[in-house]
């Protein structure tokens, strides 16, 4: 189709796949007339889902092509093993389609560490950077904040944390030229000398670069107060912080429903859900690769998967460096 946007979609990653990826793809195909999806995974599991599509949506299937593969990256797979033995997997093949220019971006809800490593192997890193960082915007009291890393690199060294800051500032500056990108380094306290040796070494590197707008250490509660536009952290701390925030958001939503009349609760929750619903915020991206890769939550349902595809479509159309 002339002028189409082609997306490679890993159908096999995630707790609810392949149905979640299928439902998300149909949502997105209905929303974006230019979108075509290369749906990558087990033909035995994927093909039967085509017969579940209602007549009114059958036309969408003309833009959904099944790309059969035999392997699957499991959530428990180790990175080195997956790289050696799972090059026939849906994740690897979806990334290859991007590398070969057959798709503009890849979306997967599979193993974060393996996706990072396979992305690095298949798509290659941008010059000057060691590893891609998993990044996404979260809502705060003063606007959105870019967090990286969110789970792909559990134990990056100080140099890699510094590189995350460089990548994040470049990306945010290109996306929002009117807002200064103030960088914070996530830590247990603001005082000098706090945190482990790796964090302290990263602090020195970030502080020594005059091209960066670096504020120093930032604590988790200050992140949500909006004291920085960009927060650098290792994937272990970042993943825990984000998942904790999601849990608190769900708990507060349930509390509103429990203690308020349904109509009043609905009026209060609608704007809340538009801003804080984890499903709507689904779709982190790997910064530092030569092409765009979007990571969906492993537990994403069809609605959340649609938002991950939205993210891929939006960022790819902006033609930014990732």
- In the predicted structure, residue 314 carries a pLDDT above the cut 50: yes
pLDDT on residue 2: 43
Least confident of 32-41, 47-56, 191-200, 277-286: 277-286
Least confident of 36-45, 207-216, 257-266: 257-266
* Spatial separation of the C-alpha atoms in residues 294 and 310, rounded to whole Å: 10
- In the predicted structure, residue 273 carries a pLDDT above the cut 70: no
- Residue for token digits 């499991």? 74
pLDDT-derived band at 240, boundaries 50, 70, 90: very high
What would the mean pLDDT of 300-322 be, rounded to a whole number?
A: 86
Q: Which residue has the higher pLDDT, 69 or 299?
A: 69
Least confident of 38-52, 159-173, 243-257: 243-257
Q: Which residue has the higher pLDDT, 30 or 193?
A: 30
Chain centre distance of CA 25: 17
pLDDT on residue 73: 94
In this structure, are residues 110 and 93 in contact, taking their beta carbons and an 8 Å threshold? no
Q: Which residues contact 57 (CB under 8 A, 6 or more apart)?
A: 26, 30
| Cβ count near 196 (within 10 Å) | 11
pLDDT on residue 1: 41
Q: pLDDT per residue over 45-93, tens digit each? A: 999 999 999 999 999 999 999 999 999 999 889 999 999 999 999 999 9
Q: Which of 299, 319, 294 is nearest to 94 (CA)?
A: 294
In this structure, are residues 50 and 61 in contact, taking their beta carbons and an 8 Å threshold? yes
Q: How far apart are the first and last CA of the chain?
A: 26
* Spatial separation of the C-alpha atoms in residues 16 and 86, rounded to whole Å: 21
pLDDT-derived band at 177, boundaries 50, 70, 90: confident
> What's the predicted TM-score (pTM) here?
0.90
- In the predicted structure, residue 164 carries a pLDDT above the cut 60: yes
Share of the chain above pLDDT 70, in %: 91
């Amino acid at each position: 189709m002339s002028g189409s946007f082609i997306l490679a979609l890993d159908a096999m990653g995630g707790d609810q796949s392949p149905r979640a990826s299928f439902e998300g793809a149909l949502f997105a195909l209905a929303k974006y007339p230019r979108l075509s999806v290369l749906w990558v995974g087990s033909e035995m599991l994927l093909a039967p889902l085509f017969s579940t599509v209602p007549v009114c949506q059958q036309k969408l299937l003309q833009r959904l092509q099944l790309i059969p593969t035999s392997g699957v990256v499991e959530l428990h797979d180790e990175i080195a093993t997956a790289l050696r033995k799972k090059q026939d997997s849906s994740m690897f093949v979806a990334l290859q389609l991007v590398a070969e220019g057959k798709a503009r971006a890849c979306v997967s809800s599979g193993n974060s560490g393996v996706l990072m490593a396979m992305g690095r192997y298949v798509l290659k890193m941008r010059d000057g950077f060691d590893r891609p960082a998993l990044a996404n915007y979260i809502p705060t009291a003063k606007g959105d904040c870019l967090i990286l890393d969110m789970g792909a690199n559990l134990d990056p060294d100080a140099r890699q944390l510094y590189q995350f800051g460089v990548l994040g500032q470049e990306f945010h500056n290109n996306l929002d030229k009117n807002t200064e990108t103030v960088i914070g380094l996530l830590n247990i306290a603001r005082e000098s000398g706090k945190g482990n040796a790796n964090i302290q070494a990263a602090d020195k590197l970030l502080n020594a670069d005059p091209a960066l707008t670096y504020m120093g250490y930032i604590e988790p509660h200050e992140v949500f107060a909006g004291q920085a536009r960009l927060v650098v952290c290792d994937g272990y701390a970042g993943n825990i912080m984000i998942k904790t925030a999601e849990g608190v958001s769900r708990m507060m939503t349930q509390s509103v429903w429990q203690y308020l009349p349904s109509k009043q609760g609905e009026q209060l929750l609608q704007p809340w859900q538009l801003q804080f619903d984890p499903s709507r915020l689904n779709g982190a991206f790997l910064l530092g690769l030569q092409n765009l890769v979007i990571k969906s939550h492993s537990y994403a349902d069809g609605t959340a998967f649609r938002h991950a595809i939205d993210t891929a479509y939006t960022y790819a159309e902006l033609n930014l460096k990732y």
